[in-house]
Amino acid sequence: MPEGHTLHRLALDLTAAFAGRVVAVSSPQGRFADEAALLDGAVLVGAESWGKHLFVHLDDGSEAGALVHVHLGLIGTFAVHAAVDAVPPPVGQVRLRLARSGPGGAAYADLRGAITCALVTAEQRAAVIGRSGPDPLRADADPDRAWHRIHRSRKPVGALLMDQGVLAGVGNVYRAEVLFRQRLHPLRPGNTLRVGQWQSIWDDLVVLMAEGVRTGRIDTVGPEHTPEAMGRDPRRDDHGGEVYVYRRTGQPCLVCQRRVSTAVLEGRNIFWCSRCQPVFRSRAVG
């Protein structure tokens, strides 16, 4: 699940469920037990995301407060259950549990399978953010920082969009889809893009990812390409949304009918339509 929209939504959900409340902090699995004991009984101030990183701010009575850094990795989940009758016993490997009771009913959140769950300082948080590129979901994002990296790089734009130091929060689905929507081949070198093309990528990501936060799915097809509009079966897949090329290898392009192509780039699958996203040819012909 975790692309930037998932983390952004998670931060909103955690804040809605726990902000301003005393939280019971535990690590039923045990791997975060020492830290959890220190945080137990603190007041949760709020949660925020930057790209795929999540930070939970707590007031533990110390001057600086406490900060938990979470990265879900590929398989992690952080499920928020708001307004339940009672907090049930943990099931499976729960690395971190936040729980509260009181007005509005009980609420709890269970973290499983995360690659990172650590107590960090404000300086460590700043370092993580400093290593990250702009996040299209953040109002304070500066897309020029990403453009500065992209237009000087010979690396494929498909690789650059996934580099969290260039752009934060874009994963394999948004990469594939925004490049299709902008009719750009994923192997096209970054330094061959024009600034207007980059601006279109950024603007599109801002809209698509905000929609993802709102719906909890990744839907990228225009109104003319929905299952209803085209009279086709809706997609049933684990990301749940309607897309143009992501994991549609061999199926007909929704725009031109050519079969969707796939390849591996830097260890990850890329998907594109070879007619809608033609191979870029340099004008500097040998």
Partner DNA sequence: GAGGGATGTCGAT
Partner DNA sequence: TCGACCTCCCTCC
Query: Residue 225 Cβ, how far from DNA at the closest point, in Å?
Result: 20
Q: Classify residue 235 by burial, with Cβ atoms within 10 Å: 0-12, 13-18, 19+.
A: middle
Query: Residue 176 Cβ, how far from DNA at the closest point, in Å?
Result: 8
Contact set with DNA (CB under 7 A): 1-3, 6, 29, 31, 51-52, 71, 73-77, 79, 92-93, 95, 112-115, 162, 164, 171-173, 218, 236-240, 247, 267-269
List the beta bridge partners of residue 98. Answer: 25, 109
Q: Which of 77, 57, 60 is nearest to 68 (CA)?
A: 57
CA distance 96 to 157: 37
Minimum CB distance to DNA smaller for 15 or for 27: 27
Q: Which positions are annotated as active-site residues?
A: 2-3, 52, 268
Minimum CB distance to DNA smaller for 65 or for 240: 240
CA distance 243 to 220: 5
Minimum CB distance to DNA smaller for 130 or for 286: 130
Query: Residue 78 Cβ, how far from DNA at the closest point, in Å?
Result: 9
Contact yes or no for 22/43 (Cβ under 8 A): yes
Virtual torsion, Cα 263, 189, 138, 14, nearest 10 deg: 20
Query: Residue 95 Cβ, how far from DNA at the closest point, in Å?
Result: 5
Minimum CB distance to DNA smaller for 34 or for 59: 34
